[in-house]
Structure 1
Amino acid sequence: MTAGVPAGRPRDPGVDERITRAAALVYGTDGWAGFSVDAVARKAGVGKASIYLRWPNKEALFVATLASRLGGVRDIDTGSVRDDLVALARQVLATFLGEDGGAVLRLTVEAGGIPAGREHLDRFLRSQVAAARAIVLRGIDRGQLSRDTSVTLLLDCISGGALNHAVATPADLRAQVAAGADRYAEELVDFVLSSSYRVPR
């Protein structure tokens, strides 16, 4: 999906990162309608030629941006279902409250109308579901959650609660909320678990 770079002109990874970072910010602010090579070049402080040496058009640039900046959610096994769920909630919060959060939120709305957008969003969502299911099923197997635990409802409460916390945050409070995200993840998980389950600590 990327254009080759002429021999004798090695790619500078730092420029690549600056361009994809700027692309994520432009998309998060202006959406697909306002996403252009011109806008990204201005945001990144590079010439358009630098972008076209790397990607032939805005679609290829967008795909590269998603591939490099929309990471998946990792399964973490600490031995405690409570701590695993906290780690999951922290990853969700970091995704939506971090620097690329605006782009991820935009993508959840616009993915169907953007080349490769749906594919990359689905990859991210599948990684979240797979990690979350693994955490809950391990908790059930270890006796840390009851056998009749609804995997779907538990994960909807935690992942959905983390997402809503990020979405409902006003722009002028995002930095403050992001700074307290780790603590919020603990409070969210403890609230959900204490409401319905007894979890050994």
Structure 2
Amino acid sequence: MGGRIRIVVDCVFMTSTSQGLTEPAASGAGRPRDPDVDRRIYDAALDIFGEWGWKGFSVAAVAKTAGVARASIYLRWPNSTDLLIDAVRARVAVVADRSLNDVRAELLSLANQLLRQYIADTGRSSVRLMLEAHLVPGLKEHWDEVAASQIVAARAIVSRAISRGELPQNTSATLLLDTLCGAVMMHVQAVPASLRERQLANLDVYVEQLVDYVLAAARSVADQ
């Protein structure tokens, strides 16, 4: 059940808009903002935060990494806090619970979303968010929403699967989500740079194998 789903992995985990990027509202009239500059700034902001944390995060560091003038950043954001919050909101989205009437298809969708959250910078910014979101005023709320959406989606998937008879009654949504998240994070972070290209080319196969393994483990509980 649940046919093969091809996974398309972007270089970043973006929220959905017609342009593929959520941008903060433009500040006043003037020349339209360059979306390429915005993308470079977002990339650099998450890269700096992932590598150095909030203590090492600054507009100057982001500007240097993005290859833009600091004035270009200050035209968009008044300070480093607002810059980081917008970058995280644009790239680290809440997980969507997609009801597809098939537990395998729904878990593939969830695993794909989790994978995209970590794949952009080998998961450094997501791990950093777990550790330091509370240090950035206004950022903890968004990260809490992201984390909560993962739990809600996992519980909904398990509940629907149990009601359809696809999973045992005693299936733990917590263990299922822990297995998916932990496996995805380790898969992204543990692969050496020399194998990165091969990893990206085989992500769809990996996710299908992971989901099938999790389903087999969950169903085996009924046999104990």
Matched residue pairs, number?
A: 197
Question: Paired residue for 2:204?
Answer: 182
Deviates more, 1:88-97 or 1:11-20: 11-20
Query: Structure 1 residues 94 and 179, CA, compared in 2 at 3 Å: closer, same or farther?
Result: farther
Query: Structure 1 residues 119 and 169, CA, compared in 2 at 3 Å: closer, same or farther?
Result: farther
Question: Paired residue for 1:77?
Answer: 99
Task: Answer yes or no: is the 8 Å Cα contact 1:71–1:124 preserved in 2.
Answer: yes
Question: Paired residue for 1:132?
Answer: 154
1:57-100 deviations in Å (ceiling 9; x for gaps): 11111111111111121222332101211221122122112247
Task: Answer yes or no: is the 8 Å Cα contact 1:24–1:100 preserved in 2.
Answer: no
Check if 1:143 corresponds to 2:149.
Answer: no
Tell me the CA shift for residue 24 of structure 1.
1.3
Question: Greater helix percent: which structure?
Answer: 1
Check if 1:60 corresponds to 2:82.
Answer: yes
Question: Paired residue for 2:49?
Answer: 27
What's the TM-score, normalizing by structure 2? 0.78
1:83-120 deviations in Å (ceiling 9; x for gaps): 21122112212211224732112111222222223222
Check if 1:156 corresponds to 2:178.
Answer: yes
2:126 maps to a residue whose letter is: V
Identity of aligned residues (%): 47
Check if 1:114 corresponds to 2:154.
Answer: no
What's the TM-score, normalizing by structure 1? 0.86
1:186 maps to a residue whose letter is: E
Return the alpha-carbon distance in structure 2 between the equivalents of residues 18 and 72 of structure 1.
Answer: 22
Return the alpha-carbon distance in structure 2 between the equivalents of residues 94 and 4 of structure 1.
Answer: 27
Task: Answer yes or no: is the 8 Å Cα contact 2:49–2:57 preserved in 1.
Answer: yes
SS at match of 1:64: helix
Question: Paired residue for 2:60?
Answer: 38
Long gaps (5+) in structure 1: none
Tell me the CA shift for residue 167 of structure 1.
3.5
Query: Structure 1 residues 141 and 3, CA, compared in 2 at 3 Å: closer, same or farther?
Result: closer
Question: Paired residue for 1:90?
Answer: 112
Return the alpha-carbon distance in structure 1 between the equivalents of residues 25 and 106 of structure 2.
Answer: 41
Query: Structure 1 residues 176 and 114, CA, compared in 2 at 3 Å: closer, same or farther?
Result: farther
Question: Paired residue for 2:5?
Answer: none
Task: Answer yes or no: is the 8 Å Cα contact 1:27–1:106 preserved in 2.
Answer: yes
Question: Paired residue for 2:10?
Answer: none
Long gaps (5+) in structure 2: 1-23
Q: CA RMSD in A?
A: 2.3
